[in-house]
Every structure is written in structure tokens, then in C-alpha cells.
Amino acid sequence: MERKYGLIGYPLGHSFSQRYFTEKFERDGIDAAYSLYPLENINLLSSLISDSPNLKGLNVTIPYKEDVIRFLDDVSEDVKEIGAVNVIKISNQDGKRSLKGYNSDYVGFADSLKPMLREEVRNALVLGTGGASKAVVYALKNLGITPTLVSRTHKEGVLSYEDLNEEIMAKNLLIVNTTPLGMFPKVDACAPIPYHLLTGAHICYDLVYNPETTEFMRRAEERGATVKNGLEMLYRQAERAWDIWNNSL
């Protein structure tokens, strides 16, 4: 019986996950299929599960990485800390479908960032406050880097873009964009940080991978910063997701 996997989110356009897993199944001779499930409302997840008896696992993307947790029977210890899920393992227990949530984003991000780090990188600005930023914050803390969230509006524990002055930019040598700003097709958009304060000592990491060089990366590179997009992170988190679905991690 063909196993089924898929991606939930809304809207779902170009999907890295579908291409990655379809190619993997063909290459490795795995009897499985990967589909897109654009759920206009997260409450439709229950119907998807009940109508799909062969569904063994799901990836979760914007905007449901946090909302999906209330539909799960269990979550990993990492998720309890992070507060966001991007992988769901579906299994049968005592004749009942069981859904357990995991987070592979933080593993993919950490593993792809490590080779770029230098000892002087002690603090980081994390642009955005959604589900992806939660995984990034968790990963940074595990790496011994102190993260500070940045968003459009200032609130307790979160800086606004207007707050970013010379002192803050000099202190935070790592800047991670977790927002969808600059993603295709709106490739001219970017987070409104003071790019003129970037230096060759900065690392600017964009979770966006389409286009390959985002406006955020282009502006940072002009100032001499080291830049990286989110493609390696995507590959690494996808590999981790497959391990979760098949090896009960």
C-alpha cells in the first residue's frame, strides 16, 4: 500500500518539499507519494486525517506552525520549548490515529549555520516573531548565542526596526531574517534594517531561498557582510523530517 506524505499550509504555491520528496521517492525506489494540502482553515486538518488512511506524515508551513499544536496528541520535548511544529508523524495506536508534532527547522538551521560562526558572534537579531523565528531562537540559544527579536512594532522583549541603532547593530554580528519579505514574486521587498550599519564582520542569514539571492542578502553583501539563504536549511530539515517519520525520533 502506497504511503502518503504531504504539506499543509495556506496558500501553497511553489513547494520545495513536494519536489524534494518526490525526487527522493523516485531515486530510492520508495513506494510513497507527496502531495500538497492547502487548508484554508486549520480546522480542516481533522477531515484530512480521517479521509486519508494512508497518510503517514505531514510537513507544516505558514501560517499553521503554532496553531496546529492544539490538534496533536503529543509533541516532542523540543516543541514544548519552541512552541512551533513543522513535522507531524501519524501512527496507529490501539486502532486510533495518533499525531505527534516535531520541529526539524531548528536542526536544519543550526546545522547550516555552524560552519559560518566565529567566536566573536555572541548576539543575534532575529527578524520576525512567527513560528520560524521560534525555531531559530531555540537553535541560537543552544549554540550559545543570545537572540533578540525584531518586529514592526516595539513591545516587551521585542525591538522595532526603528530601535536598531549603531550600538545595537555593532553588538549583534548575526542577523537572521525569518520573515517572508523578499520571497518570490515580491523579490524587491526586504526587512527595513539600517543596512548602512552593516560591516564585513556581520553574518546575514535569510530563511528565504527563492530567489537564491534576496534583496536582504544583496544589500548586506554590498556592505561586505557574509550572506546565506535558507536552501541548505530546507534540505537538512527535510532529511530530519524523513528520519522522524521512519525512525521514530
CB atoms within 10 A of CB 109: 27
Catalytic residue among 4, 24, 56, 65: 65
- Three-class secondary structure of residue 220 per DSSP: helix
Find, among 154, 228, 148, 215, the residue nearest to 186 by Cα.
215
Torsion-angle region of 229 (φ positive above 0: left; ψ -120 to 50: alpha; else: beta): beta
Residue reference for cell 502531495: 35
The reply to whether 65 belongs to the active site is: yes
Q: Would you say 48 and 68 are in contact if contact means Cβ atoms under 8 Å apart?
A: no
Q: In what order do the strands lie in the sheet with 203-206?
A: 158-160, 146-151, 123-127, 174-177, 203-206, 226-228
Between the two ends of the chain, the Cα-to-Cα distance in Å is 23
Residue numbers annotated as active site: 65
